[in-house]
Amino acid sequence: MTFEEARSQLVSILDLTTGALSDQAVVDRLTSNGDDVALSELDLDSLVGMELCLEIENRTGVTLDLGDLATYPSVNALAELMRVRSSAPGR
């Protein structure tokens, strides 16, 4: 998967799990080319974080855990991790 595909999937999943696209300021930043949004701005708690990780795996086959959300704390960083893991050998 490309970075753009991963980012698009992630934005869709974030909206499903957090309602992120109900905030116009977040929408503007997510749809602007190259802009990024910190996951902390979306008020993720551990339950929502787990839902996010499970939905990413269900839709893309990429496995993430809560630690990945802390290590890659923005939309672009997490999308890049998804891109890398989706192309990993043995996947």
Q: Examine residue 65 and state whether it is found in any structural domain, yes or no.
A: yes
Chain-centre distance for alpha carbon 13: 7
Asked whether residue 91 is assigned to any structural domain, the reply reads: no
CATH code for the domain in which residue 72 is found: 1.10.1200.10
Q: 69 in a domain, yes or no? A: yes
Report how far residue 86's alpha carbon sits from residue 91's, in angstroms, rounded to the nearest whole number: 7
Show the domain range for 8: 3-86
Q: What's this model's pTM, rounded to 2 decimal places?
A: 0.88
User: Sign of dihedral through CA atoms 45, 83, 12, 27?
Assistant: positive
C-alpha 39, offset from chain centre: 8
What pLDDT score was predicted for residue 91? 56
- With residues binned 3-state (H G I as helix, E B as strand, rest as coil), the percentages for the chain, rounded to 5, are 70, 0, 25
Q: What is the pLDDT of residues 37-88, one digit of tens each?
A: 999 988 889 999 999 999 999 999 999 999 999 999 999 999 999 999 998 8
